[in-house]
Structure 1
Amino acid sequence: MKHLLTPLLLLFTVATFAQTTWFNDKDLTLTGVYYYPEHWNENQWERDFKQMRDLGFEFTHFAEFAWAQLEPEEGKYDFDWLDRAVALAAKYNLKVVMCTSTATPPVWMSRKYPEILVKYEDGTIREHGARQHASFASPLYRELSFKMIEKLAQHYGNDKRIVGWQLDNEPEVQFDFNPAAELGFRDFLRKKYSRIEELNNAWGTTFWSQVYASFDEIKLPRTKQLFMNHHQILDYRRFAASQTNDFLNEQALLIKKYARNQWITTNYIPNYDEGHIGGSSALDFQSYTRYMVYGDNEGIGRRGYRVGNPLRIAKANDFFRPIQGTYGVMELQPGQVNWGSINPQPLPGAVRLWMWSVFAGGSDFVCAYRFRQPLYGTEQYHYGIVGTDGVTVTDGGREYQQFINEIKLLRKHYAPREEKPADYVARKTAILCNHENAWSIDKQKQNRTWNTEQHIDKYYRSLKSFGAPVDFITEDKELNDYPVVIVPAYQLVDEALVKRWEKYVEQGGNLVLTCRTGHKDRFGRLLEAPFRSVIDKVACNKLDFFDLLLPHDPGMVQMNGKPYTWNTWGEILIPAAGAETWATYQEEYYAGTPAITFSKLGKGTVTYVGVDSSNGDLEADVLKQLYARLNIPVMNLPYGVTLEYRNGFCIVLNYSDKPYTFDLPTGAQVLIGKKEIPTAGVLVFK
């Protein structure tokens, strides 16, 4: 397959975000690797650091799970061993990312203070022996954590060999039923609702005799209990996310009392609907972890599971980058993992492909997990850069080395970060997201086959096929920075947000609203008004009613003579005067009624997609028609092939199961790869 890219003649600089001060853009990206000095004989450390340096790594990563070594007894600290490791790393020009170890509190703490342990909804106590077993809601656990972190920050905060800090490890949102969490939840509610009457109103407690007389009567909601008040669960999820955010914020602020020119981040798992990512404002930027081959079959073709989902890294890039304008990937696998349902070998070249995918999105660093394959513990079968002998470089390790050398080549061709072609920037699109919409919808799905994330991905996948730069943004971002803003399944709204959408469109923006938008207020309550009427003006239509069909007998929608199936959600629309009908239902008793409308509003446009199609083809064709109407140039990349620009480079990545031929623009200089890109191949040109 081929695609002709428009010539790179119109280049200009767009300063979307303030330039980071933590990284030198001329480095393009830095590459590091995890190392656990406490796991290995000290007489092997120097050999290992020398090999890291020889392979090209620029930083390493210490103390993530070492609390027992840092504080072997309560109040007694030992940093001597870590000092020796830092000194040896520095000897080989390796900077160090220091970690706070709070994911693995030591045994003495679990035994002396069992009240700090997480408690599950069924009453089970999370026992020592794994990780993340301590409750973020426990004031005692926080006190013990902060004492250790303060000692660590005092010791290393002014150490030039330490480039930055990682807090905790893959911090999660804990649905914790520890007694301290229940007390914390009540305090959270007291701050949110000044009077118990306000809470009763927000939660609709007159329904089923749930009225509370005081905050002290409130317990944590049993989320697995049938028919539990979903307004209460919504607030509980907000509280749970806030506990993780507050714990990270307090760590960061404590370190900043002592740190000099050291950045602070953490490594989130990209679970987009948990609600904590981006919620800790004291972090300097966000990082994430990503594993691509672990037994799923989201790739393309019979052996696609060896390469992975083509958009798994791209989506994480586009989600994390807009939060603060910079991001890194703290964990990326160099080979097989140990924890998947099935743990196959990656396809040769796939590890390198993933690193290039991280780079393409604009990252400032990528870090391999891990340098040495462990000989004991839960992760014995997890590949490293070197194998079990501690010396032999694995295939994935060689791919890391290849990537490092290729980045060194690109540094000779450096251009500013935001130097990108005009047609690429012209199709820049935002997807407005709020995890609370998914929380609310999933408690009242109305159709078991509805999936909020998959609904969003139907639009995202289409945009990536356009070769469009995409930002997932939150409500605090400026909509006018984007020619097109997509608002998918935005169930919880208020008048202020709807007014912002109207203003954006009236000033010339192009808004895409989708089904399930504007149904409820921020408490999850329906409005005492015609259904969904709060968005009627900006949608340029009214909702007559919605329908849901059985998955084995889907309905049909037609646009431009082409049929599409649906079953999860369909809204029957009444268009406003002047609105165009782009698609209509073809079956059921409402056959011929509008499913999709397009309208002009002020200087801009509104496209309302009232139906969720079965496979995303309808959403793709709607966006193609919209961008054509707006004269926004788009590409037509097949699924599995993605394209991004940064630092004057175009990076084309092939996750598909067949070679892809890319037509280079006139005058392009190929730096890496060839125009025929094999599976797991990469093309870089300028």
Structure 2
Amino acid sequence: MLKKLLFALALLATIKSYSQTAQRFFSKEKLTQTGVYYYPEHWPETQWERDIKNIAKLGFEYIHMSEFAWAFMEPEEGKYDFRWLDKVIDLAGKNNLKVVLCTPTPTPPAWLVTKHPEVFLQNNIYQPMEHLSRGNYSTSSDIYKEYTEKIVTQLAKRYGKDNRVMGWQLDNEPARDIDFSPAAQEKFREWLKKKYGTIDALNKAWGAAFWSNMYNNFDQVRIPNQRLLYGVSPHALLDSKRFSVEQLAASLDFQAQTLRRYISEKQWIMTNYMTIGNNVGYDPSRTKHLDFTSYTNYPAAGYNDNGSKSFRMGSMTPLTFSNDYHRSVKGVYGVMELQPGQVNWGPINPQPEPGAVHMWLWHTFAGGTSLNCTYRYRQPLYGSELYHYGIVGTDGVTPSRGGLEFAQYITEVNKLRKQYNAKKAAPQKYVARKTAILSTMDNLWDQDLQKQTTQWNPFEHLMKYLRIAKALGAPVDFVREDADFSNYKVLMVPAYQLVDQAIITKIQKFAENGGQVILTCRTGHKDKNGHLWEAKWAEPIYKLIGAEVQFFDLMMPNTEGKISMAGTEYNWNNWGDILKPFAGTESLAKYTNQFYAGQTAVTKVKQGKGTVTYIGVDTDTGDLEKAAVRKVYADAGIATEDYPAGINVEYRDGFWVAVNYTSQPFNLNLPANAKILVGEKVLPSPGVTVWTE
């Protein structure tokens, strides 16, 4: 009890600094800082000084270390050795490099897991993971939590007041599949008791009356295992997903709270997440004690082949989304792993197009990043990532092409720092287009559980509206339900399936106060437990959209639905809501084939000083959706751009930044007073142009 009390008092002592904005850690005049991962434990000590000097010569400002080094910090239980880390930090300081230290929790040492094999997470065949990997521990294990506290405390006491350490990263790419270990099963039952209180409430929330799936008490509940179950309750699956990500968030928060007992107020705490998708095992918004979040992105790893160069450049969407999403979490964000060259773990691992690494760096800058970092400085000579490029090659000294592009970017950012003007306001034409996209992981998970068609991709639907906003030149924030919507001109609500009356009312008030709302198909089907309403289909949103959703239809892959809007015909075959407008509601688009030909697909209704547009259809090309969204901005008097797919233009801190992911050069339409600072008026492929007005 005394230990808990002292811990709470220590946290109260740091609450003042924690409650301030994360921007306090970063000088606006520096714009952003660039660093690189370095693994001294992988290389002879005789090479450390040479490597650190060369990192500094290339222009890097910090090194990132130790996320996989637990066995070097604590080679035997309770016997700590930080002498090697001290030496590298000393070398960093002598070369004017700052340090980002990481907690080493993704890789428990062999002595720990041999003594306590129960700390491993278990997969869906109840098989525990083993040593020789990473991220193999259960976030529900109290034993692992105890060892985590010990190593994090030792690190914090030793380096928490060291001015050379700028901040801390927790773990590495934290994510979890559903864990079926005994520890997780026990914690799941505790989580359910706290959430529902009684077993009757759980049975109701999970729809347990269906197929006689009732429980008599919480001790009977196990984490639902889809491998062993047919037609398992989607409500139970959704809860298991929520539990899993909340356990992960709690483990990160625990590390952050442990660090804060000892570290300086000048040191920040964050973690780095992988790229978000339909069914990811994390939710950055659920952590409470981190100063900000960061992300990992590898654009060219064999995932994109939509044009002659696209497989070497990737798509602009993942970086665009990651910038806007992570900036929206805390206002500040970082990029901890940005691809430095060819990688080794993709389905196909091509060489990036020359200039692509340079473009990716400027793309992250355009979104507002405060930190850029790359994995890694030296290409490894052993281990599972032998073919993964670094800033230098296998000889340890020769810069790779990506390394030279990093050095080029660093030089260019230094030039921009001299041009920075704190008094320069963002252009009004840009601010006027400011757009919020309402989205939660819960909605993505719930749709993914019951897609209803193989052609429905929840995350891709969300990204479609992000791409449309960017094509119109709109700055975007991703927001949750507790956000202040009044900061935006336009609010997009794509496929927001789980609603309650509170969020419906909040959206309604935003429109009535002059906001422009865009909702899309699959919105309002269910309550927050994932139950359909005991009412007409999606009836709670009828007043908001000024129409009734009569039913929805789904096409076969080779069947074409037809829709006419403003004299143009469009094809659709993914999802179609058939709408019946109320009096006073405009019908903007109608179906022209199938048995409901003549019925409405897109509506618009005036709500107070604003409007609500409902786009009830999902197409492959997105052309119909783009035309409908453009009309919303135009009718509201908001001037927009018309950038083609693959061209992204952003504004930050007095600078315009344009990047080109297409396979052709793009001629920018710059104003007469534009002063180009990086690049040319004609954007090469790939390429970047930075200018001021």
What's the TM-score, normalizing by structure 1?
A: 0.96
Counterparts in 2 of 1:168-317, with a 5 A limit?
168-224=171-227, 225-260=229-264, 261-273=266-278, 274=280, 275-298=282-305, 300-317=306-323
Contact 1:466 1:634 in 2 (8 A): yes
Contact 1:464 1:642 in 2 (8 A): yes
Task: Quote the Cα distance in structure 2 between the aligned partners of 1:344 and 1:272.
Answer: 23
Residue-by-residue CA offset, 1:594-649 (whole Å, 9 max, x unaligned): 11001101111000111111221111111111111111111111111110011111
Contact 2:22 2:330 in 1 (8 A): no
SS of residue matched to 2:576: strand
Query: What residue is the counterpart of 2:377 in the other structure?
Result: 371
Query: What residue is the counterpart of 1:4 in the other structure?
Result: none
Task: Quote the Cα distance in structure 2 between the aligned partners of 1:312 and 1:418.
Answer: 29
Counterparts in 2 of 1:608-627, with a 5 A limit?
608-627=614-633
Task: Quote the Cα distance in structure 2 between the aligned partners of 1:272 and 1:602.
Answer: 36
Task: Quote the Cα distance in structure 1 between the aligned partners of 2:589 and 2:637.
Answer: 21
Q: How many Å apart are 1:403 and its aligned residue?
A: 0.3
Q: How many Å apart are 1:457 and its aligned residue?
A: 1.7
Q: Which of residues 113, 119, 134 is equivalent to 2:122? A: 119
Q: Which of residues 601, 617, 622 is equivalent to 1:595? A: 601
Contact 1:278 1:286 in 2 (8 A): no
Q: Is the deviation greater in 557-566 or in 40-49?
A: 557-566
Query: What residue is the counterpart of 1:3 in the other structure?
Result: none
Opposite residue 190 of structure 2, the aligned amino acid is D
Task: Quote the Cα distance in structure 1 between the aligned partners of 2:423 and 2:520.
Answer: 33
Instruction: Rate the CA distance shift 1:19–1:60 in 2: closer, same or farther, 3 A.
Output: closer
Structure (1 or 2) with the greater helix fraction: 2
Q: How many Å apart are 1:226 and its aligned residue?
A: 2.4
Q: How many Å apart are 1:83 and its aligned residue?
A: 0.5
Query: What residue is the counterpart of 1:405 in the other structure?
Result: 411
1:486 equivalent to 2:492? Answer yes
Q: Which runs of 5+ in 1 are unaligned?
A: 1-16
Task: Quote the Cα distance in structure 2 between the aligned partners of 1:546 and 1:322.
Answer: 33
Contact 2:22 2:291 in 1 (8 A): no
Q: Which of residues 5, 24, 29 is equivalent to 1:26? A: 29
Instruction: Rate the CA distance shift 1:580–1:315 in 2: closer, same or farther, 3 A.
Output: same
Query: What residue is the counterpart of 1:343 in the other structure?
Result: 349
Opposite residue 457 of structure 1, the aligned amino acid is M
1:152 equivalent to 2:155? Answer yes
Q: How many Å apart are 1:418 and its aligned residue?
A: 7.5
Task: Quote the Cα distance in structure 2 between the aligned partners of 1:281 and 1:583.
Answer: 44
Contact 2:22 2:292 in 1 (8 A): no
SS of residue matched to 1:522: coil
Residue-by-residue CA offset, 1:363-384 (whole Å, 9 max, x unaligned): 0010011100011001111111
Query: What residue is the counterpart of 2:12 in the other structure?
Result: none
1:65 equivalent to 2:97? Answer no
Task: Quote the Cα distance in structure 1 between the aligned partners of 2:23 and 2:620.
Answer: 42
Q: How many Å apart are 1:663 and its aligned residue?
A: 2.1
Q: How many Å apart are 1:223 and its aligned residue?
A: 2.4
Query: What residue is the counterpart of 1:86 in the other structure?
Result: 89
Q: How many Å apart are 1:508 and its aligned residue?
A: 1.0
Opposite residue 238 of structure 2, the aligned amino acid is L
Q: Which of residues 319, 326, 330 is equivalent to 1:324? A: 330
Task: Quote the Cα distance in structure 2 between the aligned partners of 1:111 and 1:190.
Answer: 33
Task: Quote the Cα distance in structure 1 between the aligned partners of 2:421 and 2:531.
Answer: 51
1:137 equivalent to 2:140? Answer yes
Opposite residue 540 of structure 1, the aligned amino acid is G
Opposite residue 440 of structure 1, the aligned amino acid is D
Query: What residue is the counterpart of 1:434 in the other structure?
Result: 440
Residue-by-residue CA offset, 1:198-230 (whole Å, 9 max, x unaligned): 111111111100111100000110123320111
1:499 equivalent to 2:505? Answer yes
Task: Give the ranges of 4+ consecutive aligned residues of structure 1 lying more than 2 Å apart after TM superposition.
Answer: 223-226, 272-275, 415-419
Contact 1:173 1:276 in 2 (8 A): no
What's the TM-score, normalizing by structure 2?
A: 0.95
Task: Quote the Cα distance in structure 2 between the aligned partners of 1:418 and 1:363.
Answer: 19
Query: What residue is the counterpart of 2:398 in the other structure?
Result: 392
Contact 1:174 1:244 in 2 (8 A): no
Task: Quote the Cα distance in structure 2 between the aligned partners of 1:457 and 1:204.
Answer: 32
Contact 2:106 2:134 in 1 (8 A): yes
Identity %: 48
Opposite residue 295 of structure 1, the aligned amino acid is G
Task: Quote the Cα distance in structure 2 between the aligned partners of 1:485 and 1:474.
Answer: 11
Q: How many Å apart are 1:523 and its aligned residue?
A: 0.6
Task: Quote the Cα distance in structure 1 between the aligned partners of 2:327 and 2:30.
Answer: 18
Query: What residue is the counterpart of 2:79 in the other structure?
Result: 76
Residue-by-residue CA offset, 1:146-167 (whole Å, 9 max, x unaligned): 1111111111101111000000
Q: Relative contact order (alpha carbons < 8 A, sep ≥ 6): 1 or 2 greater?
A: 1
Opposite residue 661 of structure 1, the aligned amino acid is N
Q: Is the deviation greater in 266-275 or in 446-455?
A: 266-275
Task: Quote the Cα distance in structure 1 between the aligned partners of 2:118 and 2:335.
Answer: 34
Task: Quote the Cα distance in structure 1 between the aligned partners of 2:397 and 2:205.
Answer: 61
Task: Quote the Cα distance in structure 2 between the aligned partners of 1:128 and 1:447.
Answer: 39
Query: What residue is the counterpart of 1:13 in the other structure?
Result: none
Task: Quote the Cα distance in structure 2 between the aligned partners of 1:51 and 1:441.
Answer: 49
Q: CA RMSD in A?
A: 1.2
Contact 2:321 2:463 in 1 (8 A): no
